[in-house]
Structure 1
Amino acid sequence: MIALPASVKAYFDAANADRRDAFLAAFDENAFVFDDNRTFQGTEAIRNWSDADVFGARVRFSVIDATEQDGAYAVIASVDGDFDKTNLPDPFLLRHAFELSGGKIKALRVTLP
């Protein structure tokens, strides 16, 4: 597994430690997130998404694998938290595909692996 850039590491570490400000600081102000067929663009939209879907659900990530190709990072993480797990596999894995700009997350796509 590769070493993750600071902003990608901060994304997972801040979520796991309930540190909203550090989580949001990992993103570029014009970043976008694609998650569960929904798109969120800009700091306010990402804050609302993370308040509901990450911090509100007390999501915890455990990084399983990480790769880098042409400056983009793909991270497979096991996900747990206070959300409905009915019909979800155990462990529940999600792929996080990060694009960076100036050391910050400019794009994040969260999908099934």
Structure 2
Amino acid sequence: MTTIPEPVASFIETVNRHDEQGFLNAFTSDGFVDDWGRQFTDRDAIKRWSDTEFIGARGTLTPEETTIEGDTVTVVGDWASSHANGRSKFIFEVVGDKLASMTIREG
């Protein structure tokens, strides 16, 4: 597996610690989440989604594969939470030390 670059590596650690503020602060001011086609485009919408399906669901990601193409970091791994479980693909668009987006798809 390729080493996971920053800020994605720290983001995964933050998620696995269930750190809501760290999770929200990882995104740019116009960052968004795309969860299987459902888009959450501002901090309040991301928080509401996360409260039930991500951080609030006590989710953890165990990375298995990583690919890097420019500013795009893709991590495929095992997602386990009280909301959903299974192999998933997380596609991160990185801008500096923040995430412009996180897209979740079937792994």
Question: TM-score, length-normalised on structure 2?
Answer: 0.89
- Could you tell me which runs of 5 or more consecutive residues in structure 2 were left unpaired when the two chains were aligned: none
Match of 1:46 in 2: 46
Q: How many residues align?
A: 107
Match of 1:95 in 2: 89
**Structure with max Cα Rg:** 1
CA distance in 2, matches of 1:104, 1:21: 14
1:84 offset after TM fit, Å?
Answer: 5.6
1:46 offset after TM fit, Å?
Answer: 1.4
Match of 2:35 in 1: 35
Q: Which consecutive aligned stretches of 4+ in structure 1 deviate over 6 angstroms post-superposition?
A: none
CA distance in 2, matches of 1:75, 1:21: 22
Match of 1:74 in 2: 74
The structure with the largest strand share of the pair is 2
**Larger mean Cα displacement after TM superposition, 92-101 or 45-54:** 45-54
1:61 offset after TM fit, Å?
Answer: 1.0
- Could you tell me which runs of 5 or more consecutive residues in structure 1 were left unpaired when the two chains were aligned: 86-91
